[in-house]
Chain A
C-alpha cells in the first residue's frame, strides 16, 4: 500500500462517510482522488468519537443524525475503491464488533476495500480482527503515539500490515498551527524496529506541514483540514459541487506540499528530536 522505497511520500486523505450525505461524501472523496490523494481513509461515523476533535465530531455527528449506516459506509468504499486507489475504513471498534468482525472483513473486502484502521483497538484485543482480515487479504493498520514505549511499538508493528499509523502528537484529531516536534522522532523509533512503512497523521493540515512530514515519513495523513472544507460548505448551504471543489482545492495544495517534501527516503540523524 505504502512503499518505503518510493520516490516520495504518499498523500493519504480522510473523510467520513455520509457527510454531507452519502452521495455527497462519495463525490467529495472522488474529487479528493482526482486532485491527488493516493490512499483514501473512509471514516465510519460513531456516536462516541473520543479520539476526534471538534471538526470531525461535527461532520460525523451530522452524518449520524442524517441516518448514515454501516452499510452506507461499505457502499462508499465500493464507489471510491472502484477508482483503483487503496481504500481503508477507519472505525472505532464497537460498530465493527456489532456488525460482526468476520462479516465486516468479508463485506469490506467484497466492496474492494484494502484495510482497516481501528484507533481504539489495541493489539492485545485484536485477535479476531487479525484472523478475519488475514482470511480475506485486508491490511489491518494500528497506531503508535509519541508516548508509546519501544515494546509497544514492536507489538503494533508485529500486527500492522500495509502501514503503521503514527500520531504526530498527544491529542485528538484537528489541525494545529505547528507540527509536533515528536513526530520525526517517533517515525525514527518505528523505523528502528520495523520495515513496515509509516504514515503520519493527527495535526497535519497545511501544505507546509505536509512537506515537512513528507521529509521523514512514507505517508502524509490529512483529515480535519479536508473535513473542514466540507463542514464550511455544508454550513454555508453550498451545493455538493461547490463542496467537492473546496476539497479539490485543499488536496491540490497539500499534494504540492508533499511533492516538495523530499526526493527519496532518507534516514533521520540518530536521536534527533527525541
Chain B
C-alpha cells in the first residue's frame, strides 16, 4: 500500500511538473491543480496510513495515535483544498483576462509567441 501511494504521489507530481513547465496558460493551471493533489496526498500521508480509524472520538477508546489516525495533517489538508480552489479560480480569471488583453494564451504574452 505504501509503495503504491508513494508511486501515485510521484506520478501526480511528475505530471504536474511537466505541465507547469509548458508554455500555455491552460497547461500551467492544470499542472497546478495536479500539483495540489500530489502535495495534499503527501501531507496527508505524513500522518501515516490507517484503515477504519477516523479521528472521531468514540467513547471507551483511548485517545492516542494508536487508535486514531493523526487529525493534524487532515485539518491542514482540508484548509489547503479549499484555498486551492480559491487560487485556481483566481488564476483562471487572470488567465482569461490576460488572454483577452494580450490576444494570446502564451504564459509570456505576445512576446513568448514563436
Do the two chains bind? Answer: no
Binding site for A on B (CB under 8 A): none
